[in-house]
Amino acid sequence: MKRILVIGATSSIASECCRLWALKNASFFLVGRNKEKLDNTAKDLLVRGALEVHTFEMNFRNIEDHQNMLNEAIKSIGGLDVALIAHGTLPNQKDCQSNMDLLLSEFSINTLSTIGLLSILANYFENQGFGSIGVITSVSGDRGRPSNYVYGSSKAAISVFCEGLRVRLFKSGVTLTDIRPGFVETPMTKGLQLPKFLVSKPDKIAKRIIYGVENGKDVLYTPSYWRLIMFFIRSIPRVIFRYMKL
C-alpha cells in the first residue's frame, strides 16, 4: 500500500494516475484549487479501491502555504511514499508577448510554485531516506519555439532544476522523475490546432507515468516516441530553425 500526495489532482492526467493507483489500494492526499472537484475525485477513488482519501484546497501561487500543505499530508496519511506534481497552465503566447503581468503570472504558477514544492518535498524525502517524486513538465521545454516559448521556457526551468536536484537526492535513495508528455487530449489543449495522430488520451499517459515513477526513471517521455521527435527538433541547426514555423 502506497501513501501518495498528488498536487493538481483534478487535472485530467493526474486523475487518471490516481485511478490506477486506487486499484492498488493506495492512500491519497489530493491537492487542488477547486474543492468541489477535489471532493468528486475523492469519492471516485474510494469506489475504485483507495484505502483513504483526504483533500486540501490551495492556491499554488501562495508559496507560504506549501509547507503547511505538506505537514497536513504527512499527518493525514501517516507519511509519504510518492509525490506527483501535476498542476500548471498553458498560456496564450501572443497574449503573454503583449501583457507582462500575464507573462510573469504564468511563470509564477508554472515555474516558481513548482520549484517551491519540489524543494520542500526533496527535503522531506531526503530526511526520510526513501520515496519517489514525479513532476509533469513538457516536451515543449526541450527547445524554445516561437509558437510557445513562454510555456516551453517555464517548463525547461523545472527540468534543469530537476537535473541538479536528482543528483542530490540520489545519495539518499530518493528518485525524481521528470515527466515530459507530448500532445494530450485535455481541457487545457482544447481548441488548439494539433496533429491528431500525435494527440494521446490521458489514460495512456497515466500508465506511462505510473511505470516511470514506480521504476525511478530519470526522464520520461510519454508516449515514448516523443523522445525521438524531440531529438530531431533539438538537432535542427539554428540557421535553419529560425525559418521554421514550429
pLDDT, one tens digit per residue, over 39-83 is: 999 999 999 999 999 999 999 999 999 999 999 999 999 999 999
What's the pTM? 0.94
Under the banding of pLDDT at 50, 70 and 90, the label for residue 245 is confident
| Strand, coil or helix: 85 | strand
CA–CA separation, 218 and 16 (whole Å): 21
Q: Which domains does the chain have, with CATH numbers?
A: 3-241 (3.40.50.720)
Over residues 101-156, the pLDDT tens digits come to 999 999 999 999 999 999 999 999 999 999 999 999 999 999 999 999 999 999 99
Residues 6+ apart with CB under 8 A from 53: 27, 28, 29, 30, 42, 45, 46
